Amino acid sequence: MDASTGKTAPAPESESQDQSDKQKAPGGQWWRPVLLLALLIAILVLARFLGLADRLGDLRDWIKSLGAQGALVFILIYVVAVVAAVPAAPISVAAAALFGSVWGVIVINIGATLGAGLAFLVGRYFARQAVVNWLGRIEKFRRLDGLTEEHGAIIVALTRLVPIFPFNLLNYGFGLTRVPFWTYIFWTWLCIIPGTVLYVVGADAVLQGAAQGKVPWTLVLAFGAALIFLTILVRFAKRRLQAREQEGGTGPDSHPGGPSA
């Protein structure tokens, strides 16, 4: 309260933002599984309408005939997409169509990890000031920077599971923090596996259902298990992330730090 006027001073902008974030938090992510389901249904309808299901087997055979070159080309495409901040969901679906569930997950995981690493290096060494100007004004990132300085690996892991930032944006953001590169790479690689399995296996189930005219129950059950596991994991990660933020007491005045030695 202002002693001279007797009026209550307005709340700081950062405090208002925090309150706004908390108000938006409950149920804020409900649309993600709905969007994923809608995407898979749209793929099924499109595959039937265009007759793509009949060609799926031939397409996979052609990719297999390319051997390692086919996988390497796809990985390169994914790396470029991640660095360019292109939404990766359609590419993940394409991986399911071209490689199936197992190899699709492997290819996407490698491509996403390499792309995330390259974006990290760009943010840290080659376009640092541009990324600072881009992200430095975002309150959530400023808090994240302080948490990463204190807790490092656990924050990388938790933010890969909890989508507080888009994946591609976070890659550049971590380049501004002091987290070591190989720590960042390892936890990124490990913690994007559940989400990758969810996308690729789900898409493969829909595509195989369209091609064979029957429900591939093995893939459907695998998709369901991945969805349940990821939901539990995200809830756990959210609680851990909130606990770390409260313990760290990171305020809005923290700024992106320099790279570690």
What's the pLDDT score for residue 181?
92
What's the pLDDT score for residue 127?
73
**Long-range contacts, 180-184 (Cβ 8 Å, 24+):** 180/152, 180/260, 181/117, 181/120, 181/121, 181/124, 183/152, 183/153, 183/156, 184/116, 184/117, 184/120, 184/156
If we measure between CA atoms, which residue out of 248, 86, 61, 73 comes closest to residue 166? 86
What's the pLDDT score for residue 186?
93
How far is the C-alpha of 172 from the C-alpha of 188, rounded, in Å?
Answer: 13
What's the pLDDT score for residue 8?
44
Q: List C-alpha distances in Å: 120 to 88, 136, 144, 224.
A: 17, 16, 15, 32
Average pLDDT value for the chain: 71
What's the pLDDT score for residue 104?
92
Angle between helix 217-248 and 139-151 (nearest 10): 90
Domain extents in the chain: 30-248
If we measure between CA atoms, which residue out of 63, 27, 260, 78 comes closest to residue 153? 260
DSSP 64-83: HHTTHHHHHHHHHHHHHHHH
Pair of tokens at residue 78: 């994914």
**Parts of the chain with a pLDDT under 70:** 1-61, 64, 132-143, 145-152, 163-164, 210-220, 222-223, 237-238, 241-242, 244-261
Q: What is the pTM of this model?
A: 0.64
pLDDT in tens, 162-191: 766 778 888 888 888 888 899 999 999 998
What's the pLDDT score for residue 54?
59
What's the pLDDT score for residue 73?
86
How far is the C-alpha of 213 from the C-alpha of 259, rounded, in Å?
Answer: 53
What's the pLDDT score for residue 154?
79
